């Protein structure tokens, strides 16, 4: 059977980069372990799920443990996985699980549905044996208190001004059989209203894959939804190499004031990494060569 060259790319969110060394360590670990799995013949679904779980467990990223807290101080999280064979699973506004991406994969593989949200997603997770877990860290509780004071009563207009770090994480990989998987996991935006679901688990916005490639997006969820970022990039991969497709969509998003970043891989294993924010943290491995963000990109 023909073996496709393997590749993996991971991001740790777009926006200002705090704790750059810890970000680098987390991203290098996730990409290296995922790449190692691909090299051993694992599917891109397994490699992406594992790499996303590693990033969800690193508290400085806004996903899993250390997720941003909503208006009520709760960590409602979003996650999704999609493959180039159009398998999709997502969870929205799920609480009290350690790795939302695991539940997203279970939705993909064990149900007839694409997306479960809120209470329903939690019941499903417990039914599948996923244990109770509290992902709220002291650091995020302190940040929540500080920002909550700043908001006072002018909720909606002020919220946008307060958003500085878009810390969603995501991973895209291609395995030896040419299967591409994109996975994204997010703690959302601090002080969002309870029940808010961002772009991450909405098919085509924060996460998308088809025969042309796969993409994980990061940034301001509401704007990413309007610009349909992930689907737009993957569609363009039918005509252009990954990086060109990503750049075209970031330019389009910029025109509409959508602050975002994205990573992707096309069917030839070419990698995209583009953003219009102050910075974006990412790490890729292809042909055994690792590349890593620096503070200028």
2 conformational bin, left if phi > 0, alpha if psi -120 to 50, beta if neither: beta
Token pair of 224 as six digits: 């990413």
Active site residue ranges: 168
Instruction: Return the number of the residue (85 or 164) whose C-beta is nearest ligand GLY.
Output: 164
User: Taking a C-beta distance cutoff of 8 angstroms, is the pair 184, 200 a contact?
Assistant: yes
Angle in degrees, CA 209, 230, 169, rounded to 5: 90
- Could you tell me how many residues of this chain bind ligand GLY (CB under 6 A)? 14
Instruction: Return the number of the residue (185 or 284) whose C-beta is nearest ligand GLY.
Output: 185
For 233-283, the DSSP string reads HHHHTTTS-HHHHHHHHHHHHHHTT--EEEEEEETT--EEEEE-SS-EEEE
Min dist. Cβ of residue 201 to ligand GLY (A) = 9
Q: What is the dihedral of CA 39, 41, 45, 49, to 10 degrees?
A: -50
Instruction: Return the number of the residue (14 or 42) whose C-beta is nearest ligand GLY.
Output: 14
Token pair of 15 as six digits: 């926006």
Instruction: Return the number of the residue (189 or 280) whose C-beta is nearest ligand GLY.
Output: 189
Q: Which of 92, 100, 170, 188 binds ligand GLY (CB under 6 A)?
A: 188
189 scored as a contact of ligand GLY (CB under 6 A)? yes
Min dist. Cβ of residue 116 to ligand GLY (A) = 17
Q: CB under 8 Å, gap of 24 or more: what pairs does 144-151 form?
A: 144/68, 144/69, 144/73, 144/190, 144/191, 147/190, 147/191, 148/71, 148/191, 151/191
198 scored as a contact of ligand GLY (CB under 6 A)? yes
For 77-120, the DSSP string reads EEEEEEETT--EEEEEEE-S-S-HHHHHHHHHHHSS-SEEEHHH
90 scored as a contact of ligand GLY (CB under 6 A)? no
Q: Which of 57, 199, 210, 266 binds ligand GLY (CB under 6 A)?
A: 199
Residues 110-169 contacting ligand GLY, CB under 6 A:
166, 168
Instruction: Return the number of the residue (76 or 175) whose C-beta is nearest ligand GLY.
Output: 76
**CA–CA separation, 283 vs 263, rounded Å?**
10
76 scored as a contact of ligand GLY (CB under 6 A)? no
- Find the part of the chain contacting ligand GLY (CB under 6 A) among 42-50, 181-189, 269-277, 289-297: 181-189
49 scored as a contact of ligand GLY (CB under 6 A)? no
Min dist. Cβ of residue 125 to ligand GLY (A) = 19
Angle in degrees, CA 230, 231, 234, rounded to 5: 85
186 scored as a contact of ligand GLY (CB under 6 A)? yes
Instruction: Return the number of the residue (66 or 178) whose C-beta is nearest ligand GLY.
Output: 66
User: Taking a C-beta distance cutoff of 8 angstroms, is the pair 192, 220 a contact?
Assistant: no
83 scored as a contact of ligand GLY (CB under 6 A)? no
| Residue ranges in contact with ligand GLY by CB under 6 A | 166, 168, 186, 188-189, 198-200, 206, 218-221, 224
């Amino acid at each position: 059977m023909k073996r496709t060259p393997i590749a993996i790319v991971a991001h740790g969110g777009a926006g200002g980069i705090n704790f750059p060394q810890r970000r680098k360590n987390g991203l290098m670990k996730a990409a290296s372990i995922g790449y190692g799995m691909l090299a051993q013949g694992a599917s891109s679904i397994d490699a992406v799920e594992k790499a996303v779980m590693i990033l969800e467990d690193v508290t400085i990223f806004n996903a899993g443990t250390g997720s941003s807290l909503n208006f009520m101080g709760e960590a409602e999280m979003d996650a999704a996985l999609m493959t180039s064979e159009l398998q999709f699973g997502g969870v929205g506004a799920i609480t009290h699980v350690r790795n939302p991406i695991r539940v997203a994969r279970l939705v993909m593989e064990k149900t007839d549905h694409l997306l479960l949200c809120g209470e329903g997603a939690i019941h499903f997770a417990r039914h599948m044996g996923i244990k109770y877990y509290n992902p709220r860290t002291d650091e995020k509780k302190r940040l929540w208190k500080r920002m909550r004071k700043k908001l006072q009563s002018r909720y909606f207009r002020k919220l946008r001004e307060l958003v500085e770090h878009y810390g969603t994480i995501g991973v895209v990989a291609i395995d030896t059989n040419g299967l591409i998987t994109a996975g994204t996991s997010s703690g959302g935006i601090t002080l969002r209203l309870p029940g808010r679901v961002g772009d991450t688990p909405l098919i085509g916005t924060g996460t998308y894959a088809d025969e042309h490639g796969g993409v994980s997006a990061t940034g301001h969820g509401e704007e990413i939804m309007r610009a349909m970022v992930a689907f737009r990039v993957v569609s363009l991969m039918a005509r252009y190499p990954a990086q060109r497709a990503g750049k075209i969509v970031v330019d389009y998003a910029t025109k509409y004031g959508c602050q975002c970043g994205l990573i992707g891989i096309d069917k030839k294993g070419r990698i995209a990494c583009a953003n219009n924010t102050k910075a974006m943290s990412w790490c890729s491995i292809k042909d055994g060569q690792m590349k890593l963000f620096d503070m200028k990109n």
